[in-house]
Amino acid sequence: MRRQNFGTKSRKPVVLGIVLGLFLSFIYCGNDLFLQFESPKPSQSFGTTGSGHIQNAKRLPTNGPNFETYSRFGAALGRNSVHQKVRKVVLESYANIYKTNNELRFVYGETGWPWGGDFYPHKTHKNGMSVDFMVPVLKKGKPDTLPHAFWEAWAYKLEFDKEGKLEDYVIDFDAIVIHLNALAKSAEQNGLQIRRVIFAPDLQKTLKKAKGGKALLRKLNFSKGESWVRHDDHYHVDFK
Ligand SMILES: [Zn+2]
């Protein structure tokens, strides 16, 4: 009897270890694995970003030479899914920026579920046409990525002042101009358009002072008032 008890007890840590190992593997490479088995069927968006859904959405890759996901866990769950054309535009613009400004680093945020629909805590992101982009930053004058650990709600909890400063980090407004121009150009080449950009109005004033900022604010439809949550750590882009 004693030997049997001993055997049952000793298996518990092994089982827990296996479960933990599987969970960590899912977090680390779940997104890459799901991408391997992606359906070749074309994406189809229905309704609007605020009331719609999507079929055959495509996940964004976990990372690339100059970009990474806001969260490997979020990506493994599929919270980085978009319409295939939106994915093409996002990736093409990162690739184009890499050719001209390879020092810049980007982090994409949440986009939507693979099936679309309600996407808590966001109010939109329902039909695969919305993407959050974390603000590119400079740390001690050099391009860096925003800290996006889960205890900071993957960067969504960070608070920048109206000049775009937060401790050692300052928003790289020049990089935002470069990024949004690249997105707009790629969108046009792929039959899409940027419908609107949501970014905190006080930070838009600082963006205006960046190189090419004025022209960008004229070209794209930026949010005018305050939105339900301050968009200071990220800018939200809706495509159409
Ligand atoms: Zn958003």
What is the reported pLDDT for 54? 96
Contact between 222 and 197 (Cβ < 8 Å): yes
Task: State the pTM of this model.
Answer: 0.87
Q: Given its phi and psi angles, is residue 47 left (phi above 0), alpha (psi -120 to 50 degrees) or beta?
A: left
How many angstroms separate the CA atoms of 49 and 31, rounded?
23
What is the reported pLDDT for 42? 96
Please indicate, yes or no, if residue 171 is contained in any of the structural domains. yes
What is the whole-number distance in angstroms between the Cα of residue 110 and the centre of ligand 1?
Answer: 7
Please indicate, yes or no, if residue 15 is contained in any of the structural domains. no
Buried-state track 193-217, b at ≥16 Cβ within 10 A, e below 16: ebbbbbbbebbbebbeebebbeebb
Please indicate, yes or no, if residue 16 is contained in any of the structural domains. no
Please indicate, yes or no, if residue 9 is contained in any of the structural domains. no
Please indicate, yes or no, if residue 11 is contained in any of the structural domains. no
Q: Any bridge partners for residue 175, and if so which?
A: none
How many angstroms separate the CA atoms of 181 and 175, rounded?
10
Question: To which residue do tokens 């004693």 refer?
Answer: 2
Cβ count within 10 A of residue 56: 18
- Look at the chain and report how many structural domains it folds into: 1
What is the reported pLDDT for 160? 86
Look up residue 137 and give its two tokens: 């930053």
What is the whole-number distance in angstroms between the Cα of residue 54 and the centre of ligand 1?
Answer: 16
What is the whole-number distance in angstroms between the Cα of residue 166 and the centre of ligand 1?
Answer: 21
How many angstroms separate the CA atoms of 112 and 81, rounded?
5
What is the whole-number distance in angstroms between the Cα of residue 181 and the centre of ligand 1?
Answer: 19
What is the whole-number distance in angstroms between the Cα of residue 10 and the centre of ligand 1?
Answer: 48
What is the whole-number distance in angstroms between the Cα of residue 15 and the centre of ligand 1?
Answer: 39
What is the reported pLDDT for 238? 96
What is the reported pLDDT for 5? 53
State the residue range of the domain holding 209: 38-239
Exposed/middle/buried for residue 236 (C-beta within 10 Å: 0-12, 13-18, 19+): buried
What is the whole-number distance in angstroms between the Cα of residue 12 and the centre of ligand 1?
Answer: 42
DSSP state of 60: P
What is the whole-number distance in angstroms between the Cα of residue 211 and the centre of ligand 1?
Answer: 25
Please indicate, yes or no, if residue 10 is contained in any of the structural domains. no
What is the whole-number distance in angstroms between the Cα of residue 130 and the centre of ligand 1?
Answer: 6
How many angstroms separate the CA atoms of 122 and 43, rounded?
21
Report residues near ion ligand 1: CB below 5 Å.
Answer: 132, 236
Contact between 49 and 129 (Cβ < 8 Å): yes
Tell me the angle at which helices 201-209 and 173-189 cross, rounded to the nearest 10 degrees.
90
Contact between 106 and 65 (Cβ < 8 Å): no
Candidates 8, 229, 236, 234; CA nearest to 121 is 229
How many angstroms separate the CA atoms of 106 and 128, rounded?
20
What is the whole-number distance in angstroms between the Cα of residue 16 and the centre of ligand 1?
Answer: 37
Tens of pLDDT along the chain (240 residues)? 455 555 556 778 888 888 888 878 777 788 988 899 989 999 999 999 999 999 999 999 999 999 999 999 999 999 999 999 999 999 999 999 999 999 999 999 999 999 998 999 988 999 999 999 999 999 998 998 888 777 777 778 778 888 889 889 999 999 999 999 999 999 999 999 999 999 999 999 999 999 999 999 999 999 887 777 778 889 999 999
What is the whole-number distance in angstroms between the Cα of residue 237 and the centre of ligand 1?
Answer: 7
Residues near 190 by beta carbon (within 8 Å), at least 6 away in sequence: 85, 88, 89, 92
What is the reported pLDDT for 7? 53
Please indicate, yes or no, if residue 187 is contained in any of the structural domains. yes
Mapping DSSP to helix (H, G, I), strand (E, B) and coil, where does residue 131 land?
A: strand
Q: What CATH number does the domain containing 126 carry?
A: 3.30.1380.10
